[in-house]
Amino acid sequence: MRNEPLIPSVDLTVHHQISGISDAIAFGFTKSLRFVADTFFAKRYGHRAIVLETVAAVPGMVGATLTHLKCLRRMCDDNGWIRTLMEEAENERMHLMTFIHVAKPTWIERCIILFVQWIFYVAFFLLYLVSARTAHRVVGYFEEEAVISYTHYLAELDEGRSPNVPAPAIAKHYWMLPEDATLRDVVLVVRADEAHHRDVNHGFASELAGVPASGVSVCPYPEHAAELQQGA
Ligand SMILES: [Fe+2]
Ligand SMILES: [Fe+2]
C-alpha cells in the first residue's frame, strides 16, 4: 500500500483585489511576465519551473538584505521578517534543485536564466528600495500565478500527458516524503509552498499599506513538519 505524504490543503482561489496604484502596478507587471512565460514555455512545465524558480528565489533574498540593512540603520526589530524572507529564498532554491532532476535546462534556457537574473535582481532591488509594499505585492501576485501554473502541471500529470515519475531523492529528503513518493506529490508540496509565499507576501504588503492582512496557508517546509504532523 502507498504511504500518503502529509500535504496541507491549499486555497486555490485566493486573489488580492487591487486597491490603489501600487497594487495596480504590481498586478500589471505580473500579468505581463505571465504572458511572456506562457508564450515562451507553453506546456513545457518542467522547463518552465526551472527558469521561473531561478527568478522566484531572488525576491526573498533581496527583501531580507534590505530589511536587515534598514533594521541596522534604524536600530529596530524586524518582527521576524528577515528569517521568513530567507526561508522563502531557500525554499525557492530547493524547488529549483528539485526540478533540475525532472527536466534538464537547454543551453538557450541557461542563457535566459543568466540574462534575466541580472535584470530581475537589479530591477527588484530598486523597486524594493522605492516601495517595499509594491515589491511584496508583486511577489504575492507572482505566487498567485505560481499556484495556477502548478495546478496546470498537476492536470498534465493526472491526465497522463506528462509521466508521473518517482520523486527525486533530494525532494523526498527535503519535504520528508515517503520512499514511494512521486512527482505528483512533489508538485503538491511545491504548490503548497507557493500558496504560503503568496499569503505571506500579500500580508507583508498589506501591513506596509496599513490595511488588515488575511490568513496565511500552512507551510510544508521541513521546519514546519512538526506542525503538519500535529494537524494530521
Ligand atoms: Fe517556487
Ligand atoms: Fe514561490
The answer to whether 86 and 94 have CB atoms below 8 angstroms apart is no
The answer to whether 111 and 100 have CB atoms below 8 angstroms apart is no
Q: Find the 92 Cα to ligand 2 centroid distance in Å.
A: 6
Say which ligand is closest to the CA of 150: 1
Q: Is the domain defined by 21-223 classed in CATH 1.20.1260.140?
A: yes
Q: Find the 166 Cα to ligand 2 centroid distance in Å.
A: 23
Q: Find the 69 Cα to ligand 1 centroid distance in Å.
A: 25
Q: Find the 158 Cα to ligand 2 centroid distance in Å.
A: 22
Say which ligand is closest to the CA of 50: 1
Q: Find the 196 Cα to ligand 2 centroid distance in Å.
A: 8
Cell numbers at residue 111, please? 542563457
Q: Find the 134 Cα to ligand 2 centroid distance in Å.
A: 17
Q: What is the pLDDT along the chain (232 residues), one digit of tens a residue?
A: 677 777 878 889 899 999 899 999 999 999 999 998 889 888 888 888 999 999 999 999 999 999 999 999 999 999 999 999 999 999 999 999 999 999 999 999 999 999 999 999 999 999 999 999 999 999 999 999 999 999 999 999 999 999 999 999 999 999 999 999 999 999 999 999 999 999 999 999 999 999 877 777 777 766 655 555 555 4
Q: Find the 218 Cα to ligand 2 centroid distance in Å.
A: 14
Q: Find the 95 Cα to ligand 1 centroid distance in Å.
A: 5
Q: What is the predicted pLDDT for the residue at 41?
A: 87
Look at the chain and count its residues: 232
Which DSSP category does 182 fall into? B
For residue 223, what are the CA distances in angstroms to 84, 145, 172, 204? Answer: 11, 25, 14, 21
SS3 14: coil
The answer to whether 103 and 95 have CB atoms below 8 angstroms apart is no
Say which ligand is closest to the CA of 52: 1
H-type alpha helices, the chain: 21-41, 45-74, 81-99, 107-130, 132-158, 169-174, 183-209, 225-231
The answer to whether 218 and 196 have CB atoms below 8 angstroms apart is yes
